[in-house]
Structure 1
Amino acid sequence: MAPERAAVNFSELVNKNKQTLARLRETPRLLLHRRDGEDLVLTTATRAEQDRTVVSAATRMLAAFARREPGSVELLLDILPEAFPWVRFLPEPDIHAFAVELVDTMRAADSVDNSASVAQLLVAWQHTAEAHSDPELLAALTGHHDDDYGQAHTPRHAS
């Protein structure tokens, strides 16, 4: 069983730094709650590099498998609903597009050591699935509207 994530207020790190940092021996990450900003995660450099190595290896293996193995795309399409249950709401062509885009984006993100684009991709596709899961919402987003004034014109540049 994985250790419970430890969490403390940021002020504990400032006021009781030795005791707070000692908690990193018990847990791989320490969540620091901040009152006036986004929470932070504190970990050791070794742990961060280990995490990076694991993610990079998994990405490279998935990409290599997807490129080389006959039938790998079909297998990927079969297992996507286990990893991302919301893909069941996507139309078939979108599931395939998601799979290809996910592998390509993971490879590109790994090459620049920044996973933000992968997270953004997953959120965007999940929102697409959410829209497909609600017939009224999907109709509102894709249907013709009487108040639609057509294609927007390119704005003129103000001088």
Structure 2
Amino acid sequence: MSTENAAVNFSELVNRNKQTLARLKESPRLLLHRRDGEDLVLTTAARAEQDQTVVSAATRMLASLARREPGGMELLLGILPDVFPWVRFLPEPDLHAFTVELVDTMRAADSLGNSASVAQLLITWQHTAEVHSDPELLAALTRDHAEDYGPATNPRDVA
């Protein structure tokens, strides 16, 4: 069995569904390219359940390590630069806040079976690291602006 995902055009699934679906025996997932929309991933229900089981177990172990083991949080803080190299740009308090928020969000997302909030959290913190990596941008965004331009206009009121 191949570990790489097979890829086909969506029309191949529609026009030759049995042959196309048979490819799931050779590959864990089938990437379906669509001309007029976002690509889709097709997998078996059993494979999706296995994937969720693995992610859930890893999440619970990570959360348990961070909360219960002496030095667990420090261990996570130490390995995060290997997993997310961009955290090197975060100031120490932000790195700690990111670690706590990541573990908490992973636990909450696992309880719902929906990882979208984890993905959004990673994107948000990566953007924060990007700001800290650019001294000019950081200065512009953290500068105390003496002028107050008043309340923002509601976009619905602008014609």
Question: Displacement, 1:136?
Answer: 1.3
Alignment of 1:118-157 (within 5 A): 118-145=118-145, 148-149=147-148, 152=151
1:117-139, Cα deviation, whole Å (9 max, x unpaired): 00000010011111111111112
Distance of aligned partners of 1:66 and 1:154 in 2 relative to their CA distance in 1, 3 Å threshold? farther
Identity of aligned residues (%): 79
Alpha-carbon distance change, 153 to 41 in structure 1, aligned in 2, over 3 angstroms: closer
Q: Distance in 2 between matches of 1:99 and 1:133?
A: 19
Aligned length: 154
* Structure 1: unaligned runs, 5 residues or longer: none
1:151, distance to aligned residue in structure 2 (A):
6.4
Output the CA distance in 2 between the equivalents of 1:126 and 1:72.
23
* Map 1:37-48 → 2, pairs under 5 A: 37-48=37-48
1:62 positional shift: 0.8
Structure 2 counterparts to residues 34-73 of structure 1, below 5 A? 34-73=34-73
Q: Tell me the secondary structure at the aligned position of residue 7 of structure 1.
A: strand
TM-score by length of structure 1 reads 0.90
Distance 1:47 1:97 in 2: 34
Q: How far apart are the structure 2 equivalents of 1:151 and 1:54?
A: 51
**Cα RMSD (Å) of the superposition?**
1.9
Q: How many angstroms does 1:40 deviate by?
A: 0.5
Rounded to whole Å, the distance in 2 between the matches of 1:14 and 1:153 is: 50
Other-structure match for 1:107: 107
Which consecutive aligned stretches of 4+ in structure 1 deviate over 4 angstroms post-superposition? none
Aligned equivalents of 1:64, 1:18: Cα separation in 2: 44
**CA-CA distance at 1:154 after TM superposition:** 9.8
Letter in 1 for 2:148: Y
Q: Distance in 1 between matches of 2:71 and 2:97?
A: 16
Consecutive unaligned residues of structure 2, counting only runs of 5 or more, are none
Q: Which residue of 1 aligns with 2:9?
A: 9
Q: Helix, strand or coil: the match of 2:41?
A: strand
